[in-house]
Each structure stands twice: as C-alpha cells, then as structure tokens.
Structure 1
Amino acid sequence: MNLEQLTARMHAIRDANDWRKFHSPKNLAMAASVEMAELVEIFQWLDEDQSRQLPPDQLEHAGQEVADVVLYLLLMCTELGIDMDQAVRAKLADNERRFT
C-alpha cells in the first residue's frame, strides 16, 4: 500500500468521525508524541538484547504504536501541505551526502 492510499484511508476515518476540527498541526504533533512515548514505554526497562528480542505480544504492541505515529504524521503532512514521500527522500539524500 502506498502513502496516498494510507492517507486516503485515514482521511475517510477522520471525516466519518468529524475529527478534522481537532487535527491542527499542533494537536497532531502532540498526538504523535504521545504515541511515541507509548512506544518508548515498551522498551523502558529492557537491556539492549531484550529490546531486540521482544516477545510476540510486545512486538505486536510495538508495531501498533509505530503505526499510530506514522498515521498521525501522515495526517500532519496533509494539514501542512508536506509531501511525505518527497520529504523522506530529500532527508535520506541529505543523510547519504553527509554520512557516506
């Protein structure tokens, strides 16, 4: 599935629930931050090896939190007019220039 399809599906959920009024860039940034904190919580007291070998239920939970962060960021891109694909490609190219 591509980013446009994911975004369209998120917009359908947003619109069906009349949530757009809550989706300011500020609110979406805070929501993504909360979801990121929930992801961090999974790893909070694990050592390095444990963090790489999550049990299946925790791995699934981590995947859900990663998805929450990504979906909020897709919504933020819509609100700010950012093309996420282009932004990620540009940042990756910048990193390649700087670090390789």
Structure 2
Amino acid sequence: MVWSESSNGPAEKIDYFFVDSTSGDVLIDPALVDDAEGVFMLHVDAIQEAMMSTSVTNLVTQVHNIKQSSLLKFVFDQDANLLSLNLDDFQMLFFIHFS
C-alpha cells in the first residue's frame, strides 16, 4: 500500500496498512500509534490475481492517526465547516469512548 501525509505530498510504500484477503478489511499496524499524528491518504489498488497487470479498482481514503489525549484538540482546531462534515463520526466515537 502507498500513503502520503497530504494529498500534495510524495507517496511512499509503507507496511503500516494491510488488506485482509478474506474480508477485504483494511487493517492498521498498531505501531502506527507510536508514529506522528496526522491525516494519511491511503491508496489501495486492487489487482486481479490471474492477470497481475489488470487493476480491478482503486480506493482512496483518509486514515486519521490521533492519540486519545489529542482528540478534542484535533476537533476544535478544525475549521467549523470541516468539523460539521465529520460531526456524525465524532459523535459516534465520542459515544463509544465516553459511555
């Protein structure tokens, strides 16, 4: 998998992210928790096994690595418009962590 710390930054191969071949879930190595906080762009290119050059799909998503102690700081440092886009996710995470 390939990641970059911003959409404009150079991408490099890293072994922090894995795809479970049975479920298709993206798994994150717990060692990333010790790494720098930030928002990572994750690019997953699914390739058909029989023909290694044939790309089936390309998934691009963001992975947020935020330490527990920085959660509220991260949320309130965001622009209000950006925060409102993530409000449902924040409410769900807040409920899980503090209920």
TM tier relative to shorter chain: under 0.3
User: Relative CO higher for 1 or 2, CA cutoff 8 Å, sep ≥ 6?
Assistant: 1
Greater helix percent: which structure? 1
Q: TM-score, normalised by structure 2?
A: 0.20
Greater strand percent: which structure? 2
